[in-house]
Amino acid sequence: MTAFADLMAFQRETEALAQIAGRLGWDQETMMPEGAAEQRGEEMAAIEGVLHARRTDPRVGDWLAGAEAPDASGARSLELIGRSYNRNAAVPGRLAAEIARVTSIAQGIWAEARAKDDVARFLPIFEKVVALMREKGQALAAAGFGGGDVYDALLDDYEPGATAATIGAMFGRMRPRLVALREKVLGAGGQPAPVTGHFTKEGQLALARELATAFGYDWTRGRLDLAVHPFSSGSGNDARITTRVVEADPFNCLYSTIHEVGHACYELAIDPAHLFTPLGAGVSMGVHESQSRIYENQIGRSRAFTGWLHGRMREIFGDFGVGSAGEFYRSVNRVQSGYIRTEADEVHYNLHIMMRFDLERRVMAGTLEVADLEAAWNARFAEDFGVRVDRPANGVLQDVHWSVGLFGYFPTYTLGNVYAGCLMKALRADLPDVDADLARGDAKPATDWLTAKVQRFGGLYRPAEVIERACGFVPNEGPLLDYLDAKFGDLYGL
């Protein structure tokens, strides 16, 4: 065998083991008994130790030095394996295993603390998570990742090539238009009424499954379960989704499901030839989020699709107080200052992300101590949203991300929104009659376009490159902001 063939065979086993680790994480969120948390931490640490050893195996370096790629896909695989090898080699195995152990335990403690609104219960383990992630960022920065900046070195794990400076500059350009739009909308008369009533768990989950099917989710390679914080997990031929149910708020379940279907469909649509290779997963979290957000918002909250959804909800739940499809469209897209990021409307959502981005940068830099994070969150939230946080579960404890060490992850949500704005502009240019399909409850033509233009490539192209190839122009925030101004200007008669 050649060095390239040896390397790819070794990589195949590493990718398979990583899938097993991911399945353990899925089980922890959905099926694992509460009392197993500490044991699962040890299990996760053990498998992470094996993975870290494989990813830093000296043979990988030798194979990389001697490998010759047979084609463009092979060259890209070598690039990604080399990047992974160098990143993992920069992080001591002891540290990688300890991060896996502590974050696994912290995730369970976060869930308990959130349920009980008990920040003090969470802070001690979170102090450990922060210390470990700072240590990891410092190790990566010392190896040259992120240009030597600790936060950028962590961000690079989720959006290769991005920096806090470029993202911060983009946020600076977006913020004035978002704030101006929010003020106009909230100052407009005739605010739409919220959907109210009792929506049974069984009815919501049945409709959630119907929605997943409408968006092209392959049930032979996936499943739907409940979780505290909705997520998707897996790739290749096993990509699972979760949702949550609040019987007074059906949109929580329905749009969480559509969002996670976007993530899962991306993974399921990747060219099967890339399975168990570095190309066999989404290329970045920003691109991944572009799929979930375009499914959820530009398609799922469109006037055409909500017209169909309104009819289905009346058939399942009866009269729920919103008589017309037009009123329902306004209710689905109702703008209000709320606490919860995952429930935020499109106008406010990116402001939630900008707040988290600023706070986590300060935490990683050591200019904001963990003990002061709740107060900083509450002060910033009151400043940005004009509402005081009423309890920790609606504030600093609402997101799972920090408990599992995902520092640098949050800004990719807004980057995904930016990419989604670009993609929808191109999709509508290519499919001018797409609204007719959506009005019949058929999102498949739109999602098939995304499969062909984005999803099937997996990691073959760099993040911004895959979006530029799909759209025909360099991605930028303009199309998203124009879309928001047009949509909500129409909705609120601005």
Give me the active site residues, please: 260
3-state SS, residue 152: helix
- 52, 88 in Cβ contact below 8 A? yes
Q: Listing from the earlier edge strand, what are the strands of the sheet with 224-226?
A: 224-226, 238-243, 232-235
* Helix count and strand count (H, E) for the chain: 20, 3
3-state SS, residue 235: strand
Which residues have CB under 8 Å from 187's CB, separation 6+? none
3-state secondary structure 346-390: HHHHHHHHHHHHHHHHHHHHCCCCHHHHHHHHHHHHHHHHCCCCC
- 87, 157 in Cβ contact below 8 A? yes
Q: Residue 238 pairs with which residues in a beta bridge?
A: 235
What gap in Å lies between CA 26 and CA 23, rounded to an integer? Answer: 5
- For 433, the enclosing helix (H) or strand (E) is none
The sign of the torsion formed by the CA atoms of 458, 459, 465, 469 equals: negative
H-type alpha helices, 31-69? 37-55, 58-66
3-state SS, residue 41: helix
Which residues have CB under 8 Å from 432's CB, separation 6+? none
| Sequential DSSP letters for 114-146 | HHHT-HHHHHHHHHHHHHHHHHHHHHHHHTTGG
* Cα–Cα–Cα angle for 93, 98, 104, rounded to 5 degrees: 130
Range 249-252, long-range pairs (CB < 8 A, 24+ positions): 249/195, 249/199, 249/343, 250/195, 250/199, 250/204, 250/207, 250/313, 250/317, 251/195, 251/332, 251/343, 252/342, 252/343
What gap in Å lies between CA 282 and CA 299, rounded to an integer? Answer: 21
What gap in Å lies between CA 410 and CA 414, rounded to an integer? Answer: 8
Which residues have CB under 8 Å from 271's CB, separation 6+? 279, 456, 457, 458
- 30, 227 in Cβ contact below 8 A? yes
What gap in Å lies between CA 267 and CA 220, rounded to an integer? Answer: 14
